[in-house]
Structure 1
Amino acid sequence: MRSLLRLWPYARPVRWRLAGATLAAGIASGSVLLVPLVLRSIVDGPVAHHDYGGLWPLAGLLLLLGLIEAGLFGVRRVIVARPLAKVESTMRGDLFAKLQRLPVSFHDRWPSGQLLSRATSDMFTMRLFLAFPLVFLIVNSLVFVTGSVMMLVLDWRLGLVTLTPAIPLVLLSRYFESRYALAARRSQDQTGDLATLIEESILGIRVLKAFGRHRTMAERFQQQNRELRETELGKARLLANLWAMIVGLPEIALGCALAVGAVLVAHDELTTGTLVAFLSTALALRWPVESLGWLLAYANEAATATDRYFEVMDEPDDPERPSGNPVAADRGIRFSGVRFRYPDAPADTPDLLCGIDLHIRSGETMALVGATGSGKTTLTALLPRLYEVTGGSITLDGRDLRDIPRQRLRELVAVAFEEPTLFSATVRENVLMGAPGASPEQLATALHTAQAAFVEKLPAGVETQVGEQGLSLSGGQRQRLALARAVVGEPGFLVLDDPLSALDVHTEALVEQALRQVLGSTTALVVAHRPSTVLLADRVAVLDGGRITAVGTHQELLKSSPAYRELMSGESAPLLEGSPAR
């Protein structure tokens, strides 16, 4: 109940619809309990006295009660269908919005399939619980209590015999609930893992086919699929055992009540009509009792789905600090004692960045070079606050990044990542993600800067759908569109993570020529691996061992930094006289 009660804020706007559905189902179920009383009147009245004329009104009443039951059950569905679909839509929208606000470190930890299952199958489970099990947990409980009172009023001796299984059934249900809850959680988590595997297999289908590893992936899928199947079979066994007891014990009690009732009728201590009414009431309670197992099972499924949903919703957003004032004299980008380690890094490992001090002057282009794994990409991810610094500070024009609202920060800082990611949208939509309000002229300029003339040859030009992940385009084409996305808004600060790595030499030269104009009007940090990219920069910073070890122009560093010469030449450079060995 603690888990399910967390759904109340979403269910509250439709509470009257839920109440109406519960009332309709309650009246429909209550009409069923009137049938035994009508049957008693028929048996002890017209049938006992051979008054066939008096039989027809009572038979008509039975028909009317049946129509009322059917009609109200239909009304119940109509009442809740649309509002609960809206509840599900609202919850899914809130989850998606939350995923957009959560930091990148959260997405690093969570498999995409787990998030996908929470946004689809778990959401359906919660909606169905509100539409059906919740209503009938309430209605069937009330019907059971009312029917039990009716049986005791009709004959308390038969009532006690029939209600004897109630105590063992309550104890059994408590035992079942605790075990089923664990199995339900395991099943839903395994479903999320399976969704992750399927997604990875589809996105990586080219790699799997190229290396002939589709059989290996199929074996992994079969293994996880078997584990999920075993979990589902375990749930089925639990439910089967409970169902057997729920169905079996009341049937035995009903048989005993029938035997006792026959004896009482034979000794004229009970009328035949009363016995018929009692047995009819007991039979009317079969559905409320037998549904107990299914309702409990689904309540556990819904509680688990609710827990999984709120596991994401309870994750803290990145806190915003009160807005600070810039220091006018300190223009450009400044890293001051910046330290960083990933949130999930083991406690005994050193920081990835160990006190970065670097100043990129306003209007300057700084190239960042370093060996693979030195932390270049991580450093660039700190500027748009995809990750938060562990220590120290980064300022833009004298203003701490943490004092700038994220929305505003990401308007100021544009990024082109080393791995260009495109979405299932048109070329125009993908590029304008960098500046939704950009004009057609700015779009054309950005595409020209990125040397993306290939767009004109696409079937629908800039309105061409690029497909999932942009895989219908080549790597170089994707990279050029990602570069166009970064420069389309004419940002004040630009971060480029090896933006030309997938381009051929001719295209690279053309992009570099166009980029020089863009870089001349912005403050930029460019991760570079090749001399041609380095030459776009005014100065170069060398990142080594988590620190900036050298800063200067390309020519200066070739003379003074063995590490830089090695990075640029690809060969170990001889040490300068008096230089310490690394």
Structure 2
Amino acid sequence: MLRIWKLMDKKNLIKIFLLILFEATMFMLLPTLASDILNYSVVDGNPQTVWLIGIIMLILNVLALVLAFISVKMSAKESQGLGHKLRMDMFERIMAFSQEDMAKFGTSTLITRTTNDVMQIQLVTQMIIRLIILSPVIMIVSVFFAYQRESQLAWVFAITLPLILIVVGIILYFASPIFRSIQKKTDRLNKVFREGLTGIRVIRAFNTTEYEEQRFDDANIDFRNASIKANSIMAFMLPGMLLVMAVSNSLIFLNGANLISVGEMEVGNLIAFVQYGVQILNSVLQVAFLLFFLPRAQVSAERILEVIDTEPSIEDLTKEVDVLDDKEVTLAFEHVDFGFPGAERPAIEDINFSASKGETIAIIGGTGSGKTTIANLIPRLYEASKGKVRVNGVNVKNVRQEELRSKIGFAPQKALLFSGTIRSNMQYGKNDATDAEIWKALEIAQADFVKELDDLLDAKVDQGGVNFSGGQRQRLSIARTIISQPDIFVFDDTFSALDFKTDANLRKALKPITRDAITIIIAQRVNTVIDADRILVLENGKIVGEGTHQSLLAENAVYQDIVASQMKGENR
């Protein structure tokens, strides 16, 4: 927590401290003035003195309220600013994560850490800025004034304060581990709920609604029981504090009454001492209440820092990086291997090929043969474990990721659209794309359906593009890639959702705009790769064939099997 709090503006914290100090001092003067009113009215009955003290009390009250308003506002601003900074730091770090880094945490826990955990930090920070300063100040000032008024009763606090600390310590000892587990249970609940939402079609298709409801119910009950247990333990805090306060007040009144009866104490002083006693115990109670939230905040801080401190597995070099040559457009894989963490064997082995300006390279193979892995290595979404991937003659590890990816247009296997409009999605490919450029890209991508929409380019796109069919999403994804006008086009099985006619028309329309670029087409259908300049045939992560459609059809057994299997499927 201390490391996170260091992110706040120290000058503003000093200002808040001074405001709270003045506020507490003014507030603590009130019991003394109230006792003076009572004493003066009883002793000499001077109404002028009473009115004067009353006006001073009113002024002090107004000033204390004004200072409290300003300090609360500044505290809220600091805590919200801290939350904003933490969310930004986490989001920037997550955006730099590789696929491997994302898998290490999991999407659900990253969402929880960026939202729920940050909110815990904000809540505790706003409370602690006020209470951690205000409560000790009130306690110290109250003890001072109470002792000044009646030193004979000060021994009461020597009994009650240790009792409060013991009660708070015991409760937190048992509650802290449970609060730590609650955050993990929140992750699990979030994960199950998210899977239920994203997989709702599959759940309905397989008629497993009851099973998913049971999964969610189990996670929900687990979270509920842990929360009830933690809050049940913390529920002892308030009665414990009230009991100690009752004991304190009883001791003060009993001993104070005896002192008044023998003329050693004035009634006003007893009332002031009781009020100071209540303020002291209230201050301790407020700190105890803060400690109610502190265990969860501490866990949240650890989880947030775990994300922020995780170094991305794919990073730009700290030394001076190379610059890609705009004139030369080449792509080369030099004996590249890649394996997923924990996998028994590499996903791809000894991948070796090159491509130059104007070439179309197609990669075909069965499921799990490593096609998508090759596609992800080009924009450095994965890091080659062995060998080199070169773009324009430069090892991609020696190029800034931003510069590298600006040269590559990537259409992923899963066509992902963002909530917004068709225009905003197209501008992901090019920020300043004009309507004419967007329409041209849509035309090449065979996305004629956009012309039939009521709002045209301003047509709404729901999250994930779920308001469009799979083929429509695919074509919009391709158009987004086209509009970026890259040096290297990478189409990762993006034609799979298209019918044969649309597929053929799209590839034909692509040829004029890819003459000065390299085109990499990942596919499973022979139709899609038949016109490529070269076809790479993959099997079990290795290149087992390379050539044109005709040469491979004549000489390569794996390619022949692929063609034969697809022809059989068509004959059926």
Give the TM-score of the pair, scaled to structure 1. 0.89
Asked if 2 retains the 8 angstrom alpha-carbon contact of 1:328 and 1:398, the reply is no
Which residue is equivalent to 1:298?
A: 293
Q: How far apart, in 2, do the equivalents of 1:284 and 1:237 lie?
A: 26
Which residue is equivalent to 2:490?
A: 495
Partner-residue secondary structure (3-state), 1:316: coil
1:423 positional shift: 0.5
Letter in 2 for 1:480: R
1:174 positional shift: 4.1
- 2:338 pairs, out of 316, 337, 340, with 340
Which residue is equivalent to 1:537?
A: 532
Moved more, 324-333 or 511-520: 324-333
Question: Where does the alignment leave 5 or more consecutive residues of structure 2 unmatched?
Answer: none
Residue 481 of structure 1 pairs with residue 481 of structure 2: no
1:373 positional shift: 1.1
Q: How far apart, in 2, do the equivalents of 1:142 and 1:320 lie?
A: 50
Moved more, 175-184 or 310-319: 175-184
Residue 203 of structure 1 pairs with residue 201 of structure 2: no
Moved more, 457-466 or 160-169: 160-169
Residue 448 of structure 1 pairs with residue 443 of structure 2: yes
Asked if 2 retains the 8 angstrom alpha-carbon contact of 1:162 and 1:250, the reply is no
Asked if 2 retains the 8 angstrom alpha-carbon contact of 1:163 and 1:253, the reply is no
Q: How far apart, in 2, do the equivalents of 1:329 and 1:475 lie?
A: 37
Q: Are the structure 2 counterparts of residues 55 and 44 from structure 1 closer, same or farther at C-alpha, using a change threshold of 3 Å?
A: same
Q: How far apart, in 1, do the equivalents of 2:180 and 2:396 lie?
A: 40
Q: How far apart, in 2, do the equivalents of 1:7 and 1:289 lie?
A: 22
Partner-residue secondary structure (3-state), 2:496: coil
Which residue is equivalent to 2:186?
A: 191
1:454 positional shift: 0.8
Letter in 2 for 1:33: M
Asked if 1 retains the 8 angstrom alpha-carbon contact of 2:36 and 2:268, the reply is yes
Q: Are the structure 2 counterparts of residues 85 and 558 from structure 1 closer, same or farther at C-alpha, using a change threshold of 3 Å?
A: same
- 2:144 pairs, out of 145, 149, 159, with 149
Which residue is equivalent to 2:154?
A: 159
Letter in 2 for 1:351: P
Asked if 1 retains the 8 angstrom alpha-carbon contact of 2:171 and 2:233, the reply is yes
Which residue is equivalent to 1:253?
A: 248
- 2:400 pairs, out of 405, 410, 429, with 405
Partner-residue secondary structure (3-state), 1:206: helix
Partner-residue secondary structure (3-state), 2:41: helix
Q: How does 1:524-563 map to 2 (within 5 A)?
A: 524-563=519-558
1:269 positional shift: 3.5
1:330 positional shift: 9.7
1:388 positional shift: 0.9
Question: Where does the alignment leave 5 or more consecutive residues of structure 1 unmatched?
Answer: 574-582
Partner-residue secondary structure (3-state), 2:367: coil
Which residue is equivalent to 2:2?
A: 4
Q: How far apart, in 2, do the equivalents of 1:175 and 1:247 lie?
A: 16
Which residue is equivalent to 2:369?
A: 374
Asked if 2 retains the 8 angstrom alpha-carbon contact of 1:365 and 1:526, the reply is yes
1:529 positional shift: 0.9
Q: How far apart, in 1, do the equivalents of 2:25 and 2:207 lie?
A: 64
Which residue is equivalent to 2:307?
A: 312
Q: Are the structure 2 counterparts of residues 547 and 328 from structure 1 closer, same or farther at C-alpha, using a change threshold of 3 Å?
A: farther
Moved more, 473-482 or 457-466: 457-466
Asked if 1 retains the 8 angstrom alpha-carbon contact of 2:531 and 2:549, the reply is no
Asked if 2 retains the 8 angstrom alpha-carbon contact of 1:431 and 1:443, the reply is yes
Letter in 2 for 1:543: L
Letter in 2 for 1:320: D
1:66 positional shift: 3.4
Q: Are the structure 2 counterparts of residues 52 and 114 from structure 1 closer, same or farther at C-alpha, using a change threshold of 3 Å?
A: same
Asked if 2 retains the 8 angstrom alpha-carbon contact of 1:4 and 1:303, the reply is no
Which residue is equivalent to 1:69?
A: 64
Asked if 1 retains the 8 angstrom alpha-carbon contact of 2:24 and 2:137, the reply is no
Residue 239 of structure 1 pairs with residue 237 of structure 2: no
Q: Are the structure 2 counterparts of residues 179 and 5 from structure 1 closer, same or farther at C-alpha, using a change threshold of 3 Å?
A: farther
1:84 positional shift: 4.5
Asked if 1 retains the 8 angstrom alpha-carbon contact of 2:504 and 2:528, the reply is no
RMSD between aligned residues: 2.7
Which residue is equivalent to 1:91?
A: 86
**Aligned pairs, number:** 565
Which residue is equivalent to 1:120?
A: 115
Q: How far apart, in 1, do the equivalents of 2:38 and 2:289 lie?
A: 35
CA deviations 1:189-239 (Å, max 9, x no partner) are 333333333333333333333333333322222222222222221221232
Q: Are the structure 2 counterparts of residues 273 and 554 from structure 1 closer, same or farther at C-alpha, using a change threshold of 3 Å?
A: same
Q: Are the structure 2 counterparts of residues 324 and 25 from structure 1 closer, same or farther at C-alpha, using a change threshold of 3 Å?
A: closer
1:521 positional shift: 3.4
Q: Are the structure 2 counterparts of residues 570 and 48 from structure 1 closer, same or farther at C-alpha, using a change threshold of 3 Å?
A: same
Q: Are the structure 2 counterparts of residues 117 and 76 from structure 1 closer, same or farther at C-alpha, using a change threshold of 3 Å?
A: same
Q: How far apart, in 2, do the equivalents of 1:360 and 1:290 lie?
A: 72
Q: How far apart, in 2, do the equivalents of 1:136 and 1:559 lie?
A: 81
Asked if 2 retains the 8 angstrom alpha-carbon contact of 1:133 and 1:299, the reply is no
Residue 516 of structure 1 pairs with residue 516 of structure 2: no
Q: How does 1:127-142 map to 2 (within 5 A)?
A: 127-142=122-137
Partner-residue secondary structure (3-state), 1:384: coil
CA deviations 1:310-339 (Å, max 9, x no partner) are 222212133212324779999622211211
Q: Are the structure 2 counterparts of residues 179 and 459 from structure 1 closer, same or farther at C-alpha, using a change threshold of 3 Å?
A: farther
Which residue is equivalent to 1:223?
A: 218
Q: How far apart, in 1, do the equivalents of 2:550 and 2:541 lie?
A: 23
- 2:279 pairs, out of 279, 284, 291, with 284
Q: How far apart, in 2, do the equivalents of 1:546 and 1:151 lie?
A: 81
1:266 positional shift: 2.7
1:51 positional shift: 4.3
Asked if 1 retains the 8 angstrom alpha-carbon contact of 2:131 and 2:287, the reply is no
1:295 positional shift: 1.1
Q: Are the structure 2 counterparts of residues 571 and 501 from structure 1 closer, same or farther at C-alpha, using a change threshold of 3 Å?
A: closer
Which residue is equivalent to 1:387?
A: 382
Which residue is equivalent to 1:350?
A: 345
Partner-residue secondary structure (3-state), 2:86: helix
Q: How far apart, in 2, do the equivalents of 1:326 and 1:41 lie?
A: 82
Which residue is equivalent to 1:55?
A: 50
Which residue is equivalent to 2:321?
A: 323
Q: How far apart, in 1, do the equivalents of 2:115 and 2:324 lie?
A: 45
Partner-residue secondary structure (3-state), 1:285: helix
CA deviations 1:243-264 (Å, max 9, x no partner) are 3333322321331232222223
Asked if 1 retains the 8 angstrom alpha-carbon contact of 2:500 and 2:527, the reply is no
